[in-house]
Amino acid sequence: MNDYLQKILKGQAINYEAFLKKLPEAFRRRHRDLFSTEKVAANRWRVTVLNTSMFDELQRHVATPVSRVDAARKGNSHRHGTEVSFLLVYHGGLASDRPDSVVIAGDLVDLGFRPATSVLVVENERNFFHYRQMLAFVAECLNEPLELASCDVILGGGNRITQSSVLNWLAGYQRVFCAFDYDAGGLQMFATIAGKLGDRAQFVQPTDWQPWLAQFRMAPKTTERFTKAVAMAEDLGFIPLAQAFRATGKFMEQEMILND
């Protein structure tokens, strides 16, 4: 939206119809009071500001929020990351099967245990609850033993794990295993983590997808979503996974790991 507004101020032509779709509703209803347009080419209009005070208000409205509260005032708190993150963690020091917690507020981290050298990030709550089975699955994929004594397990669903402050804390682990859904969303989460942590981040997947093809049962919502997943798998070097996508035409949710 800010790009559109800058082009309008510079007198550059824009796709006005696409611009209107992104315009906040309160301003979209009054766009004829705010702008006049002159079509200069196919799908291109030169836009003139008619009401400068309303335009200034629009600029303030779409400006990047400085906090979660500021974003909420502007109608969408999700435009700004949370200042505080809460993570559930299973670790070797637990006296029961109730997970511990980590509180991350910017650079401040509050935790009551000593982190292991490795960590397994699990996207789904049910898989997180069955952390022993997930550790066994990761060990099978890695072809090496993996136990809670040497590997913490974190619930990282809802993209909370990709927040900058959380990634800064995860950087303290030597190895970060990522157990996400095998779809475009899961691959995007991993790509974000790997972009910050580099080779320390590992995407958990079988070395041979052939025995798992029957578990690919989730139909992509759109063709674009499917082609994006295939392209991302290839870009990340996960060629067998891309082949599994193509062979089945579907995605695999991580709950299927527990389907035995």
Give the whole-angstrom CA distance, residue 98 versus residue 153: 12
Mean pLDDT of 192-211: 95
pLDDT of residue 103: 95
pLDDT in tens, 170-193: 999 999 999 999 999 999 999 999
Last residue of a domain, which of 79, 111, 137?
79
Do 60 and 89 lie in one domain? The reply is: no
pLDDT in tens, 35-75: 999 999 988 999 999 999 999 999 888 885 544 444 445 45
Residues 92 and 22 in one domain: no
Same domain membership, residue 97 and residue 154: yes
Task: For residues 55 and 158, state if they share a domain.
Answer: no
Q: Are residues 15 and 40 in the same domain?
A: yes
Strands 44-49 and 35-41, how do they pair?
antiparallel
Q: What's the domain count of the chain?
A: 2
- 107/110: higher pLDDT: 110
Q: How far apart are CA 164 and CA 187, in angstroms?
A: 18
Q: Which domain holds residue 171?
A: 84-258
Same domain, 168 and 214: yes
CATH number, position 206: 3.40.1360.10
Amino acid at residue number 53: S
Q: How far apart are CA 74 and CA 61, in angstroms?
A: 6
